[in-house]
Amino acid sequence: METVTKKSICFVVSAPITINAFLLNHIELLSKYYEIHLVVNTEGDSQIQFNNITSIKHIQLVRGISIINDLKGLYKLWGYFKIKQFDAVHTITPKAGLLGMIAANVAGIPRRIHIFTGQVWHTKTGILKWLLKKLDTLLAYMATDILVDGKPQRDFLINSGILKKHNSQVLGKGSISGVLCSKFVKDNQIRLSLRASHHIDSTEIVYAFLGRLNTDKGVFDLINAFERLNNKYSNTKLLLIGPDEENINKRIDHDLTNRILFIGHCNEPHHFLQMADAFCLPSYREGFGNSVLEASVLELPIICSNTYGLHDTILDDVTGLRHNVGDVSALFQQMEKIYLSETLRKELGTNGRAYVLSNFNADAISNYWLAFYKNLFAASQFSN
C-alpha cells in the first residue's frame, strides 16, 4: 500500500510568546493531519518546548526596524524555505509576516498565508505611517491567502487599500485563537485568596486591564479616568496586568501608588482577572482584542473603546459599554456607571460569558483553521 505523505505547514513567528498565546490549540489539532514546523527566534528562551511540532528552526527576527538584521533574517528564511520546500508557510505578526512572505515567495512556496492581527501604523503619522502601510501592502501582495482576525479589521484594511476582497477572509466570527473556555471559569476561592494577598477589601470595586502597558493601548487614559473615579469613590482600585513597556509604573502620581496594582507579565493572567469586578480596554488600535473575550468568559462587564478592532468583541449595552477613542471623560462616565450598579455588572457579565461561549470557543476556532487548510490543499491539488 502506498504511504500518503502529510502536507507540511511552517509557521513563522518572531517570538515564542506568540505560539503560547495564540497557536497551541491550533497546532495540536492541525498536527493530526499535517506536519507542523516552526520558525521562531528562540534566543534567550532555553526552555522552549512545543508538543506536536516536527521541527523548530531558530532564525532571529527582531521586532523593531533593523535593516541589517532584517536582511540577515530574510536571507536565512529564503535559504531554509528553499531547502525544505514546505507545502505552506503561515506567518503571524508584522515583521515575521513581511520577511516570511517575501522569502516564501522567492523560494517558490506554493501556499503563503498571513494573518493580520492589528496595524501598527494606525496611530502613526507622516512618512512613517506611509512607509508602514506600504510594507503591509507588499506583505499582502506576496501572500496567496490572507486571513484577518476580525471582520471590522478586514473592512478597514480593504478600505485602506491594503487588501483585496478576493483573497482575504475571516474565519468564523473572528479572533485568532478564541478562548479556551474550560480554563477561564469563575473561582471564588482564587478571587478571595488573591484579593487578600494584594490587600483588596471585599467592599472595593476593582477595574482590570490585561495587555501590553503602553500609550497605544490607552493605559494613560485609563489611569487618568481611574484617578477621577478614585477621587470620587475611594473604595476603587485599578489592576494592570502585562509587561510595562513604557515605564508607566514610575510615571504615575505618587498618591495613586496604593490604588494601582502593577502585576507585570504573568503566565496565568486569568487567575489575576478573578480579582476584578470590571474589565477595561481603552485601546487606540486593536486587531481584535482577545483579552476582552477572556474577561467576558469570567463574567466581567467590559468597558472598551470604539476602535475598529474591538467592534465584535462586545455587544453594546448587552455585554459591555463603549466609549470614543481617547475620550477620558466618556471612559470615566462608563467606569462610574459600572461602579454604581451591581445589577448592571452582573447582567453584562452573564451576557458576556454566553456571547463568548456561543461565538469564540477555542475548539471551534481551531476547527475553522483545520477546515481552512483542508480547503486550501484540496484547491491546490485540484489546480495541479
Report for 45-54, 156-165, 271-280: range of highest mean pLDDT: 271-280
Q: Would you kindly state where each structural domain of the chain is located, as residue ranges?
A: 8-178+362-383, 188-359
* Options 3.30.365.10, 3.20.19.10, 3.40.50.150, 3.40.50.2000; CATH of 8-178+362-383: 3.40.50.2000
pLDDT digits (tens, 9 = 90+) for 35-57: 999 999 887 654 556 678 999 99
Asked if residue 349 lies in contact with residue 314, where contact means CB atoms within 8 angstroms, the answer is no
User: Side chain identity at 257, as an amino acid letter?
Assistant: T
Q: The domain 188-359: what is its CATH number?
A: 3.40.50.2000
Asked if residue 278 lies in contact with residue 335, where contact means CB atoms within 8 angstroms, the answer is yes
Question: In this structure, what DSSP letter does residue 53 have?
Answer: -
pLDDT digits (tens, 9 = 90+) for 12-30: 998 888 888 889 899 999 9
- DSSP for 179-248 reads B-TTT----HHHHHHHHHHTT--TT-EEEEEES-BSGGGTHHHHHHHHHHHHHH-SSEEEEEES-BTT-G
Grid cell in block for residue 110: 506554493
Asked if residue 282 lies in contact with residue 221, where contact means CB atoms within 8 angstroms, the answer is yes
- Region 141-161: mean pLDDT is 93
Which of 123-127, 195-199, 302-306, 370-374 is least confident? 123-127
CA 162 to chain CA mean position, Å? 20
Q: Do domains 8-178+362-383 and 188-359 have the same CATH topology?
A: yes
- Region 269-291: mean pLDDT is 92
Residue 383 confidence (pLDDT):
55
Contacts of 174 (CB under 8 A, 6+ apart): 149, 150, 151, 288, 312, 360
pLDDT digits (tens, 9 = 90+) for 236-268: 999 999 988 888 888 887 778 889 999 988 878
Q: What angle do CA 248, 303, 186 make, to 5 degrees?
A: 95
Unique residue bearing C-alpha cell 510594507: 135
| d(C-alpha 305, C-alpha 280), whole Å | 9
Between 119 and 37, the more confident residue is: 37
How much is the pTM?
0.86
**pLDDT band of 2, cuts 50, 70, 90:** very low
| d(C-alpha 96, C-alpha 111), whole Å | 16
| d(C-alpha 69, C-alpha 74), whole Å | 9
Query: By C-alpha distance, which of 153, 123, 115, 157 is closest to 137?
Result: 157
| d(C-alpha 108, C-alpha 354), whole Å | 45
